[in-house]
Structure 1
Amino acid sequence: MEQKRIVFAEDHSLISEMWGELIKNTGEFVILAKTKSVKESLHSVSSLQPDLLILDVMLSDGSSIDSIETFRQSSPATRILVLSGNAELHTIKKAFGKGANGYITKTAGYEEIMKAISLVLDGKSYMSYDVQQKITNQFTDTGNSIELLLNTLTKQEIKICRFIYKGLSSKEVAEELSISVKTVQIHRHNIYKKLNIHKLSQLMLLVQDHQSFFDTE
């Protein structure tokens, strides 16, 4: 089996070494570069075109979140798993909004680290357990089970949910379905209203936790 190629952007040497060893010892991955700054990471991703970028939120020259779009432009096929020391919801929302494919905290255990990497490389999105718990706590109790709410979605809305979960923008979803961007935005508004959610992170969690429902259409 061909090893997946990873660039690891993390400015704390201890974490870089620990995660690096865990990842390398599986035999499934090869770490092409370990970088400590946004500038260095952008250069490595652009030149090496890795399968995965593990990106710390804070690097030696500042926040990396605003550079996610640049990473995607320089290497479109590279999946991005954001690594953070906290689970602040506004940071998570911003990361996914910029194009991240996954978000995991530095307190994650070995099994969760491997799960996150595998899912993100497999074209799916991922949020770590503590992040999921925070988002779950924000759901408003409507008196309806989530299953009932999900069943109000149309087939088109379910398809759009799947595309959003995979990280596609409204423009990319429109191209996939041969509809206008405006129509996608209307569908998205209706999805949020039907599911009683207000944030992208909440939708991502719903799809992640109910993949069997979304995979049946």
Structure 2
Amino acid sequence: MAMMAEPEIHPPPPLAGRGVYLLDDHEVVRRGLRHLLESDGLSIAGESGSARRAFRRIPALRPELVILDDDLPDGSGADVCRAIAAADPTIRCLLMTGDANEAVL
């Protein structure tokens, strides 16, 4: 009995659709992330440096992923992430922090 080879399955890139939203109050960080993601073929749906602006823009843009800093001048990234999850649970969040404190993590 001859064995048939399994067909190769190539799933689509995980973030090929609506793109990534960047939220960090440091422009140099946003610029670096943008360059890294775009060089890997991902699209940037939008970006901002404040929680207040992100609260307005993210629900309208509906990106697939939000990469956000936890320490923002007008709020916390964790609060933004909670609001995003409540508004649209299909949007994934990646929260960045430089804090090593276990309570924060």
Normalization by structure 2: what TM-score?
0.77
Rounded Cα–Cα distance in structure 1 between residues aligned with 2:79 and 2:33: 24
Rounded Cα–Cα distance in structure 2 between residues aligned with 1:55 and 1:91: 15
Alignment size in residue pairs: 91
1:57 maps to 70
The structure that is helix-richer by fraction is 1
Name the SS of the counterpart of 2:40 in structure 1.
coil
Alpha-carbon RMSD across the aligned residues, in angstroms, is: 1.6
1:83 maps to 96
1:71 maps to 84
Contact 1:53 1:80 in 2 (8 A): yes
Rounded Cα–Cα distance in structure 1 between residues aligned with 2:79 and 2:45: 23
Matched, 1:16 2:47: no
Contact 1:45 1:74 in 2 (8 A): no
1:42 maps to 55
Contact 2:59 2:84 in 1 (8 A): yes
Name the SS of the counterpart of 1:91 in structure 2.
coil
User: Any unmatched runs of 5+ in structure 2?
Assistant: 1-11
Normalization by structure 1: what TM-score?
0.39
In the TM superposition, structure 1's runs of 4+ consecutive aligned residues that sit over 3 Å from their partners are none
Contact 1:45 1:75 in 2 (8 A): no
Contact 1:35 1:41 in 2 (8 A): yes
Residue 60 (structure 1) shift: 2.7
Rounded Cα–Cα distance in structure 1 between residues aligned with 2:37 and 2:82: 25
Of the two structures, which has the highest relative contact order with CA contacts closer than 8 Å and spacing of 6 or more? 2
Question: AA paired with 2:74?
Answer: D
Mean alpha-carbon deviation: is it higher for 3-12 or for 56-65?
A: 56-65
Rounded Cα–Cα distance in structure 1 between residues aligned with 2:80 and 2:95: 12
Name the SS of the counterpart of 1:53 in structure 2.
strand
